[in-house]
């Protein structure tokens, strides 16, 4: 994957397919606190979390290397910006729900190993029903990810009553390999389009840019550390 195709593939969240900017280096840090990665749940009041890669409800079908706890880690300035988004959506009776945030480099490597194993097709029906697994390496999976820089996250909107929350209908599940996951795909309903636009606008007001191929994927701009990736485990 090179040149323009690398740019197109950048930021695919479920598989870490992101062409890092030239010169990106992996930090030698071994703990989150060393690089100002914070638990967003401690910063964003009322944040809902369902960190998929810490369990088996994901496209691999098993916990992913590096996810030792179901936490949403983000660089501190990114978490503070997310808190402002949460304040906005709460005024509309909603809440943010995150599926993935910072992703260690070792986790991306796990994705690549999975993609190179054609025998494991356990999750095809749920995550890539219209694609052959081998084709994922031609564009969906790369060996670096923007998530590893601590400023990218995957999330949705939920409406909560007491302790029960229901996700707004976005037209596809999170991590679904299909053009229908494109933010402005024409086949979705008017209600689904409205929900996607509501999320995009709420995030954009506080510096988060949506990736047009995936309604759930956002990166804070400018990134605090655009030339540094991290490999500290999520604990």
Nearest to 57 by CA among 104, 122, 139: 122
DSSP 3-29: HHHHHHHTTBTTTBB--PPTT-EE---
Distance CA 45, CA 27 (A): 29
Active site residues: 214
Nearest to 198 by CA among 218, 165, 168: 168
Phi-psi region of 220 (alpha: psi -120 to 50; beta: other; left: phi over 0): beta
- Token pair in block for residue 177: 């390999």
Residue with tokens 């356990």: 122
For the chain, helix (H) and strand (E) counts, in that order, are 5, 10
Containing 222, the helix (H) or strand (E) segment is: none
Task: Report the alpha-carbon angle 28-230-202, nearest 5.
Answer: 155
């Amino acid at each position: 994957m090179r040149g323009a195709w690398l740019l197109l593939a950048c930021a695919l969240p479920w598989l870490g397919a992101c062409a890092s900017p030239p010169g990106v280096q992996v930090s030698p840090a071994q703990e989150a606190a060393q690089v100002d990665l914070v638990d967003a749940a401690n910063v964003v009041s009322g944040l809902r979390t369902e960190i998929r890669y810490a369990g088996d409800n994901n496209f691999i079908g098993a916990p992913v290397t590096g996810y030792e706890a179901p936490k949403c880690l983000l660089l501190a300035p990114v978490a503070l910006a997310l808190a402002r988004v949460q304040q906005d959506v709460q005024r509309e009776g909603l809440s943010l729900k995150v599926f993935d945030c910072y992703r260690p480099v070792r986790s991306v490597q796990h994705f690549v190993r999975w993609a190179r194993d054609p025998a494991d097709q356990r999750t095809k029906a749920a995550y890539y029903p219209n694609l052959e697994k081998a084709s994922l390496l031609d564009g969906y999976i790369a060996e670096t990810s923007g998530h590893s820089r601590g400023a990218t996250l995957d999330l949705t909107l939920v409406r909560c009553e007491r302790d029960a929350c229901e996700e707004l209908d976005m037209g596809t599940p999170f991590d679904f390999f299909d053009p229908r996951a494109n933010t402005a795909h024409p086949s979705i309903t008017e209600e689904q389009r409205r929900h996607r636009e509501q999320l995009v606008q709420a995030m954009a007001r506080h510096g988060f840019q949506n990736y047009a191929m995936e309604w759930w994927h956002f990166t804070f701009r400018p990134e605090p550390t655009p030339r540094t990736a991290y490999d500290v485990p999520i604990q």
